[in-house]
Every structure is written in C-alpha cells, then in structure tokens.
Structure 1
Amino acid sequence: MVVPGSQHIEDKMYHPPEGLQKDAHVPDFNCYLELYKKSIEEPDVFWKEVASDFYWKKPPTGHILQYNFDVTKGNIYVKCMEGAKTNMCYNVLDRNVKDKNLGERVAFYWEGNSPDHHEAITYGQLLGQVCRCSNLLKQMGVRKGDRVAIYLPMIPELVYTMLACARIGAVHSIVFAGFSAESLCERIMDSQCSILVTADGVYRGEKLINLKQIADEALEKCREKASATVTKCLVVKHHALRTQNGDISNKLQTPWDAACDVCWDEVMGQVSEQCEPEWLDAEDPLFILYTSGSTGKPKGVLHTVAGYLLYTSLTFKYVFDHQPDDVYWCTADIGWITGHSYITYGPLANGATSVLFEGIPVHPHVGRFWEVIEKYRVTKFYTAPTAIRLLMKYGLDPVQKYDLSSLRILGTVGEPINPEAWHWYHEVIGQKRCPVVDTFWQTETGGHVLTPLPAATPLKPGSATFPFFGVEPTILNEHGEELEGEAEGYLVFRRPWPGIMRTVYGNQERFENTYFKKFPGFYVTGDGCRRDKDGYYWIAGRIDDMINVSGHLLSTAEVESSLTDHGAVAEAAVVSRPHKVKGECLYCFVTLKDCREFNRTLVDELKRQVREKIGPIATPDFIQNAPGLPKTRSGKIMRRVLRQIARNEKDLGDLSTLADPKVVEVLFSQRCETAA
C-alpha cells in the first residue's frame, strides 16, 4: 500500500490551527494515517465501527463490502451491509429525536429569498412533518420502490418530501427547480415516476418563476410521448410568495386540474403525524439523481440506502469536523448531489443544525452570504469556487460590514479552486484562521473522495490533498499502466467505498461502459489528476481537458489559474483544439473584469504570463474574449461546450443543465479563426 503523504512535508504549507486540533475527531496527520491504513487493510472492521452508531432492524450477514470492478470477470457490482435491514429516515430523524433526545434542537434555519422570510425547524417538528408527508404519499398510492419526482425550490417542503420517500421506501428523483419542462419531462419518463411534487412558484432574486406552469408543460410533453406515468401532482403553495411584492396569485395564474392536482396545504392537516418506517434491505434504492453526459440523455445515478448512510454521515462528521455547537451552512441546492449529501442526509445523520438557503448570493445585495453568516453565527461554511470568484469582484466593503468571527472551517465544492480565489477565501472570509477544505467528489461517488481534514492536513492552495477513508486512488497513463511518485494522468480508484453509485438507473450496460470499461479493475472518474512529490493530489479537470501538446500533458486548470492571475481577467476556461503539428493546442476563453478592454496588447500579456508561469509549451494559440461562459445552473463551466465552440462544431450534446443558452450564441459569433 502506498501511504498518502508519507513523503516529506514542505514548510511552506498552511498548517492547521492549534485551537482546532484540540477537540477534533481527527486531530493530527498521524491520526489520519493510522485511520486511513485501517480503512484500507481492515475495511470490514473500520465500517462496522461506523455502522454501530446507527440503527439496524437486522444486522448484515457477510462482509461489509463486496464488489467486482473488473468487467472481464463479470458484471460490475458493489454491495454494502448485505443482509441488513434499516431505514434512512429513521436513522436521521427518529434516532435523533427518540434515542439522542434532540427533538428540541434546530435541524434547519430556513432563510428565504428575502431576508424577511425565515423559519426555525426543530428535529421534532421535522419528524412530524415528514410523517405527515409519508402518510399523504401513501394515500396517493405510493408504495415501496415507486419513483417520486420532486420539482421544488429550496423550501422546507423539499426536505419533508425527500425524507418521506426514504421513510416509506419510495425512490425520490429530485429535479433542480431551474430546469426546463423538457428536462423535467425527460427525467420523469426515464425513471417512470408515479407522482410529481412541485410548487406554485418561486422568486429567484427579483425574477418570479411559475413552477406549476413548467410542471404542467412537462407532464403534457410526457403525454405527447405516450409516457404519462404520473397520476397525481402534489402542489405546495410557497407561503413567502403571498407577502413578497404583495399577493401574487393573480400574477402567477396557477393552472389547476382537479383530476390530477392535489393542494399540499389542504391535505397535510388531514393526515397523522405518526408513520411507521418501511424496513428496507441495505441495497434497496434510496434515490436517483440525473447528471448530464457528454453525449446522449442524462444518466440516472442510483444510490442505495445503507452505504450512502454510512458514507455521507462519516464524511460530513470528519471533513467538517462537526461538533454539537456548530451551525453549518452549505449554499448548494438540494437539486444537486451536494445538497443531497451535505444539506440533508449527512448533516441530519449527525444531528447537525444547518442553514437551508433559498436565495442567491447577490440579492437583495452583494453581502447576502456574509449577512446570513452573521445572523446565524455560522461556524462551518461550504460553497463553490464560482461563488467565491463572483463575490471577490465586489471587493472588501461588502464583507467588512458583517461579523464573520464565528467561522471556524471553510469548504469548497464543484471544481478545483484557483489559488487566487483560495487565498481570498482564506484571508478575507476566514481571516487567516480558518482552514479551507477543498473537496473533490462526484454525483457518482456519493460523498467526498479526496479532501483535507481540517485539523489534520497541511494545506496546499488548489490541492484536494489526500484520499478519504476507504478510498484508494491511483493514477494511470493512457495504456492503463500505474504511475508511481510524481505523476499526471487518469484519476481512478481501485476499490469501492460504501457511498459509491450502484448503477445507472435502467441501464447497467451504460454504467459499466462509462466507468469501468476503459481500465478494467478500476472505477474511472473521467478526471485528470497530478500527484506531487509530497503525495498531494491536484485535480486537473475532466480528462478531455487534459491537453497533449507535442507529447506534453498539460493541465487546463493550471493554465486557467495563470490567466486569472492577470489583473484584467475575472474568469478563464481552457480547452483543446486540434493542431496539425502539435496534435492539440490551447484555446482559451477569458472573461474580463469591468471596464477592461480586450485588445492585442492584453492578449500578448496573457500569453507571456502563461509562458512565464508554466513554460513555453503551455503558450496559448488562441485567446478569445468571453463576455460570459456557458455554465450549469449550479455554476459549473461546461467545458465540453467550449471545446465544440473552439472547433466550430455545432452539435453540442445535452444542454439541459445550461443556465443561459444565449452565451453559446455570443461565443460562436466571437470565436477565433486564426491563432492569437
């Protein structure tokens, strides 16, 4: 076994603060190494100890983890706690209320789109509402194994519904409430949902969105495609909308079909607050969450009950070093995996108090994040590099208006964080005292797989550092050969952890072809990675964006970081473009800061900066002005779309997650025909 970080540790790293180490679950690096070794060499012992904190109606009958990662030896499978029976909802609610006496503890501080709308929900109240929703779903005909589509904004009813599904053994399929009717239809059809839960509307900033109308359009599209599996639509009236900007009932003009639609507000009071959980097999499905692929329709990533419970609970506990007095805030939407794992299931499994945030970072002012941190005395804050870079451009004034002294740990998620943003986050938001946990993981992994532990891991800005417990990464070259020591290539994992996906819903062949066929015996992340001399892992972005220029493998993330170090550049994205001599060359998109002009002088400066920071081989051939970059609604840059633009290819694949399609038209109109 290669012990991570067993090489020498550089003095220039950022070391954990001593105060944090005192009471930490993993207090120092040696403790991390001991636990990591145990998790790899004695996985059954390690995960059995984690499982002992939860309730099992029936214990497992064999090994905690069983698997096959080699397609040449048969079907790919992963099983965790086989033979055991349990219930996710019982473990995250009943266990906390009845066994741990946390009924009066706040589970969520809900903070609406407007600062005037907020609510505190205790664990006892949450359990009661979830049981009501469970009984309601059962009255509507939902049974174990049925799929329920949830198309809701970030309101408490979203949490009630997903946990109610978990309680009765239904499989929830949450669709981000910013998706189009076509995207919602596609996901309903693929998973054959029998019930749709939505809301009348939602404000996103100043924009009013009629969710019910979009939901109706989606159901109509399902009927047109002869795939009308939804029998009932349960509709929540978003109460905050009744007071924001006056009564908006007339403005929304909510469509209503008495034969299909059921009003949440009218029926929830008619059902009991008592509901016995359905005891499920450890490998029964918990949820389906769709993630778009580079080609074809989105993939329905399937996660199961027991393994996901163990992994999200442990990663939350250790990565954020959760303590009983914490107030934790993850700014993601529950429509994405980050919200599933680190707003709902992971925090609740630990009895945590969290902020459930409906708003956006710049409404009603650009200090909204910092205002919320001060209001609830947030101690652990988890957000995306995209949000950090967005707020950086407004300077220090919006930050300095608020008291951020409660913060103890900062986290990032979604993409590698560039060093400039890391330093601003650490120095301005964390006031140089909060470690930054830069987490790498995927919808498919269920939870963090490469991450620092805040009290134990010396930090390098931009590095996801080391593997989490039970995770065994390695780096392969194009031929599938393992690379030792300092290396750069394909990031793969040689064994599963409890929270890894089990299949693509309804398509085991796609699951095996996507993640296991290229390198038999390994789970292929699709990301490139570099390991430095200290054993630290640096994510280089999707492997398609690892560019081979004249035989040299270049990291697009490294080039992007060099470009954003220039004072005129707010954001950058780098992709490959075919080159007759080099094979591939660098095509760069740069978004400039306000009032900065894109001209030949700037292009020359940027080329020189990249050349000086990385080397002549990394000098960009093309630099294009990009007023905006194509991003998903969760803020990720869609680099495959940029790659198609760079190559002047009009077939862009699945664009259902694109936030602003107009950006693509602008970039096509301004693309570079000749080298810069």
Structure 2
Amino acid sequence: MQRAAWFPADEQVRKMRMYGLMMKNGIEEYDDFYQRSVKDPAWFWDEVVRDLKLQWDQPYSKVLDLSKGFAWPQWFVDGKMNVATNCLDRWADDPKVKDQLAIISEGDGGEVKQWTYHELRETVARFAQGLSELGVTFGDRVAIYLPMIAENVIAMLATARIGAIFTPCFSGYGAEAVATRLKDCEAKVLITADGFWRRGKVVKMKEEADRAADLSPSVEKVIIVQRTGREIPVHERDVKWEDVIHKEKTLSSVITDADTPFMIIYTSGTTGRPKGTVHVHAGFPIKAAFDAGYGMDLKQEDTLFWMTDMGWMMGPWMVFGALLNGSTMVLFEGTPDYPQPDRLWELVENHRISHMGISPTVIRTLMKFGETWVDKHDQSSLKAFGSTGEPWNPEPWFWLFDHVGKGKVPIWNYSGGTEVSGGILSSNLMKPIAPCSFNGPMPGMDAEVVDEHGKPIRGEVGELVMKHPWVGMTHGFWKDPERYKKAYWSRWEGTWVHGDWVHAEEEGYWYITGRSDDTLKIAGKRLGPAEMESVLVDHPRVLEAATIGVPDPIKGEVAVCFAVLKPGDSGDEVLVKELMDMIGDHLGKALRPSKIHVVSELPKTRNGKILRRVIKSAYTGQEAGDLSALENPKAVEEVRRENEAE
C-alpha cells in the first residue's frame, strides 16, 4: 500500500466547503456522500447549484432528462441562466463584494493591472455593447486569439453576455492552426493582439491573425488589442479594441437557456482535424466551479492561479472556477524562470496566491535551480497546489511538497479533460494523500476501471470509463455528432470511454499510467508508459523521459525510451546500460526496452504536456496528425533523426 505523505487535520476538514455541503445534507462520511452523488446525480447537481447560489432567470423544472440517451443528457430542463451574470453581476451588485479584486494580471515584464468585480462587470458590459454594434448576435462565433491578459477574460464574458459563442485559441498557434478553428466554427469575429511579451522579447501575433483571417471566409472583423505598441499592418476589416468598448452604453446579459452553447474549445486530434467540444451556460462553468470550490476548497477570500493558456481547458476553467466562486484569479503572461528562476515564487508572494496550479514538467524544470530561489520568497499564503495534464513521478512531487510547501500544502492531483469540463479523478483534501496519486473519482463522477470486456477490476491496469452523464459533459463536437459518439460511446453501450489507462489499488489510491492509446503490450503484458518513465527519472542524471511502443515481430511490441538529461550531461553507453538495468530490476527483464535514446528535449505543448503520439509517429515514420499544440518542432526532428541513425 502506498504510504500517505499529507494528512488533513480534523479542524481543516470541518472548515472545507465539501464538508459543509455534506453536513447540509446530513451526511457525515465522505464515502457515503460520494455513493449518493453517483447513485442520484440529479439530487447531487441540484444541491451543488443551490449551494453555489446561482442566479436563474427562470427556474428549471427538472434537473435531468435522459430521454435522448446517455450521450445526450439535458440538464436543468426549462432553466434559463447566463454565465456572465453569475460570474459578474451578482457580485458587482453586492456591496460587500463589488470592490473585491476579480483579476490580477501580471505581464512578462512585471507590470501589474487589477480589476474589481464592479470594474470588470462595467468593462465587460461596455465591450458587449461594442460587439453588438459590430453586428455580433445570438449564436454567432467569436474567436479569441490573445495572450494571458485581462482582455482575454473580458472578451470571453462579453461574448457570453450577448448569447454568442467564443472559441479560445492557444496564443502560440500559427496561422494555419488558428484558421482550422476559425473555419470549422465559422467565426464571424477574430479578437487578437499586436503581439505579446515572452522572455523580454515581442512575439508577433497580428501577422499570424491576418493570415488566419485571410484563410477563413467567415471572418468579417478583426479586433486588435494594442499590447506591445508595435507597428502592425492594417486592413479594412480591422478595429481597435478601444474603439469597440462603448464609452457610454453597457449591455445587460441576454437571457439564455441552460443548454445554450457559450464556448467551443478545440482539442487536438491524434488524426484529422481538431475536435470542437461544445459547452453550455449551465455546464462547463458549474463543473469548473464545483471542482475548484469544493474539490480544491477555493473560497471567496482566496486567490487562484494556474500556469496555463486560455486555449487549453484549464484557462477557461480558472476563469469560471474563480469568478463563479467570487474569488480572485491571477493571469500571468510570462514564463516560470524569466527573468530569474524565482519568478513563480515571487508571483505567489506578491499576489498572496492561495491555490496554485502547476505541471510536473514545470517543477522538473525549476527544481534543477535548487531551493534557494524558493526560500527567497514568502510562500505562506499557499493552501493547495493543483496539478493536471500528466502523471507525476516521485522526485518532483516530493520537491514541490517538501521544499515549496514545507510538507504542509497538499498537492491536489486532478485529471479529466476538455470534453469533461474538469476532473474525473482528483485528490481528496478530506483524506490522506499519497505521492503522485488520486484518491479516486470526484463526487458526481460515476467512474470505474474496467478490463477489455468492460468488467470492473482492481489491482491491475484498465480503461477509465464513466457509467453515467455529468454536468459539464460536452454537448458533442461542433456539427459532428457522429464523430463524438464514435470517440466516446461506441465501445460499450451507455458507457463513456475516456481514453486513460488507470491502476486502481484495492486500498483506494488510483494512478493514471498514460493514455490507453499510448499503452504498450509487451509479450502479452500491458504497461502504461508512465510506469517505465518513472523508473528512468529516478536516475540522478535523468531530468525527464518518454516511452513509446513500436511493433516487434517476436514480442508484438517493444518499448523505446527517450531520456533528457540534466544540464551539462551528454550521456554515454554506461548510462544507457544503467538505465536498461534499472528498468529490468524494477519491471522485469522481459519489459526492458529495446532502445534508450538520449535527446536534448521532448516534443511538448507550451503547458508542458509531453506528446507521446508525436514521438511515436516521428520515430516510426507515420503521419503525426494535428501538431498545432506543439511548442518545440525541433524536438520532433531530433526524434526522427534518432531512428534514421539506427
């Protein structure tokens, strides 16, 4: 049994919002609460929206209607609510809350801007009026291609306010990737910036936005935020941000149905075009608000920061998780180690961040600089770390827990997806937390681990599935319902197959070992890539690693590993043999990889997720599919050269 490293005090538990929700319903034991939440999900989500005190323009008559089947649930039937009203107006109209900070925005150069709930509501309402006067109406799509600045949030909420639909695009995308999304959703307006700052240098955006708009016949207007003040090309369709914000008029939220779409957020597909997941006013925001507010225990007096981009799910998740809970969010344009390796720790101190989301990859990058950079800054405001997007291995987990959190701050491990609106699995702050683990499914998430026949299993690796719909589940893919059903509902009747490979221990801790399509099957034994990667990164010279499976005529499939070494280390044959032996000792000789390649970097997204499918396609010479999320294309070429050199 994995030994827990963090234990909640009884006093802490009694102050948690999850505990308060349990007590309100007369349930004293968490496990009883969870079981009721999945046996009666309509009861559970009804209690959640009541406890969140959401404002409904028209009350719902029924919590859940499954008449169209599990793939197409309707939540809050007949209910009408607008997410912008619930994020802003109810707080801005409250004398006790209106002057509380809603947004703290820090640029790459350290400049800070702030918005109270009252100020943010007024700005959003004026920008909504400006969008309306530009001709944006109910149901129109507005693409947002901006850095992590407040205008990004303002544009999202203003679009939702008028009943239109926004599509957030990753700020690092090139023109073709943006155009793919613009064309798929037929965006009427594109909102962009002249550029943004990264490591003290200007990154151009307007030129990429222009190329994307040129490729997208539906785009009528391009709205430009002057972020850097640089000279940019100007076209007839261009409108300045400040000319859109109305000087005198504000626009109230239009009344929208609970299931009116407000966001299309794209996920990168393994093959073919990206998938446009459709999210509705009473879906994604409620799931995000519950997960942040009750799962991570975010309260109104707290400050939430997640190291992400608005084009990734965790960007909008942070917005709605913070604002629906009346909390403060921190937007950060910069990078974790610029201008010095203490940038994130300085951010925590300066803005008194209480809840901080960070990836294992970022921690592996920062830990090489040592604890001195952490100890320069006061981290006492921290109440919880959040982590999502990739599995942990022990060394960076303990470095964050011991050296940054001083053994007192829990690491809230969290995993779900863009199609989920948040988490399926998470750590539980009411229970002891073991390193790198989850405590199991979140309330309302009827998750199970099953074998190849769909039968529940424990103590071995299996597929993660959902046995019942939940609030926040995507309303399909934009204009492609068949692709959605094939992706998630085609394997077992009435069962959502998520695509994660999970090991659920008998004792209660769960571990994600990788995507099920990344899973290796060597000589008949299934193996998650994270299991082999964790062995590799335990070596003192290895910084990070990736494992893929390649066809083999004898074993069916063999493992090939890629290791990035710590700075200044170039590797040698002795090291490769040591790594081979370590894997054999830990996992068995039959599972030793066929090759271990030392590379300078691994293909990643900007938020640090290692793209194993890209590594595999480059190494085996296959079509890589959608590469729009890729941060470092040179890493792909290096992987390709490793295979060619054999």
Using the size of structure 2 for normalisation, the TM-score is 0.95
The verdict on how the C-alpha distance between 1:606 and 1:17 changes in structure 2, with shifts beyond 3 A counting, is farther
CA deviation vs aligned residue, 1:34-64 (integer Å, no higher than 9, x gap): 3212212222222112222111111222243
**1:672–1:609: structure 2 CA closer, same or farther, 3 Å change rule?**
farther
**1:624–1:672 contact (8 Å) kept in structure 2:** no
* Segment of structure 1 superposing worse, 149-158 or 213-222: 213-222
Q: Which aligned pairs between 1:567-586 and structure 2 lie closer than 5 A?
A: 567-586=540-559
Aligned match of 1:202 in 185, 196, 204?
A: 196
**Aligned equivalent of 2:252:** 276
* Counterpart among 131, 134, 141 of residue 128 in structure 2: 134
Letter in 2 for 1:575: I
Once residues 161 and 32 of structure 2 are traced to their aligned partners in structure 1, the CA distance between those partners, rounded to angstroms, is 36
What amino acid does structure 1 have at the position aligned with 2:48?
V
- Provide the C-alpha distance between the structure 2 equivalents of 1:412 and 1:672, rounded to a whole number of angstroms: 36
Mean CA deviation greater in 612-621 or 370-379: 612-621
The Cα of 1:65 is off from its aligned counterpart by: 5.2
- Kindly report which structure 2 residues correspond to 1:515-530, keeping only aligned pairs within 5 A, or say none: 515-530=488-503
Q: Alpha-carbon deviation of 1:235? A: 0.9
Q: How does 1:521-670 map to 2 (within 5 A)?
A: 521-647=494-620, 649-670=621-642
Distance 2:201 2:642 in 1: 29
State the SS of the aligned residue for 1:464. Answer: coil
Residues 368 and 16 of structure 1: CA distance in aligned 2, closer, same or farther (over 3 Å): same
2:47 alignment counterpart: 49
Tell me the equivalent position of 2:8: 16
Q: Report the AA paired with residue 666 of structure 1.
A: E
The whole-number CA distance in structure 1 between the counterparts of 2:384 and 2:300 is: 15
Contact between 1:624 and 1:671, CA under 8 Å: does it hold in 2? no
- Residues 136, 271 of structure 1: 8 Å contact kept: no
> For 1:298-447, what aligned pairs fall within 5 Å after superposition?
298-342=274-318, 344-447=319-422
CA drift at 1:484: 2.8
For residues 406 and 263 of structure 2, the distance between their equivalents in structure 1, rounded to whole angstroms, comes to 39
CA contact (8 A) 1:16 1:457 kept: yes
User: Number of aligned pairs?
Assistant: 638
What is the deviation of 1:387? 0.9
User: What amino acid sits opposite 2:160 in the alignment?
Assistant: A
Structure 2 residue identity aligned to 1:255 = P
Tell me the distance in 2 between the aligned counterparts of 1:280 and 1:603. Answer: 60
2:31 is the alignment partner of 1:37: no
Q: Distance in 1 between matches of 2:589 and 2:11?
A: 44
Q: Does 1:263 align with 2:235?
A: no
Q: Provide closer, same or farther for how the CA distance between residues 69 and 451 of structure 1 changes in structure 2, counting only shifts above 3 A.
A: farther
Amino acid at match of 2:506: K
The separation in 1 between residues aligned to 2:219 and 2:602, in whole angstroms, is 36
Greater shift after overlay, 87-96 or 100-109?
Answer: 100-109
SS at 2:469 equivalent: coil
Residue 435 (structure 2) aligns with: 461
Distance, in Å, in 1 between the alignment partners of 2:69 and 2:391 is 27
Q: Structure 1: state its 5+ residue gaps.
A: 1-8, 71-75, 223-227, 243-248
CA contact (8 A) 1:69 1:523 kept: no
Name the SS for the 1:632 alignment partner: coil
Alpha-carbon contact 2:127-2:246 (below 8 Å) kept: no
Distance 2:84 2:264 in 1: 16
Query: Amino acid of the residue matched to residue 87 of structure 1?
Result: N
Structure 1 residue 11: Cα displacement: 5.7
Range moving further from structure 2, 318-327 or 164-173: 318-327
Match of 1:82 in 2: 77
Cα distance change, pair 496–519 in 1 and its aligned pair in 2 (3 A): same
Mean Cα deviation higher: 20-29 or 462-471: 20-29
| 1:97 counterpart residue number | 92
Equivalent position to 2:152, from 152, 158, 170: 158
CA distance in 2, matches of 1:169, 1:100: 27
Distance change >3 Å, CA 10–CA 368, structure 1 → 2: closer
Asked if the contact 2:450/2:456 (under 8 Å) is kept, the reply is yes
> Could you list the per-position Cα deviations for residues 209-266 of structure 1 after superposition, in whole angstroms to 9, with x for gaps in the alignment?
22111111111222xxxxx11111111111xx35xxxxxx3xxx30111x21111123
SS of 1:51's partner is: helix
Unaligned segments of structure 2, at least 5 residues: none
CA root-mean-square deviation:
1.8
Partner residue, 1:6: none
Aligned partner of 2:37: which letter? S
Identity %: 34
Match of 2:426 among 451, 455, 467: 451
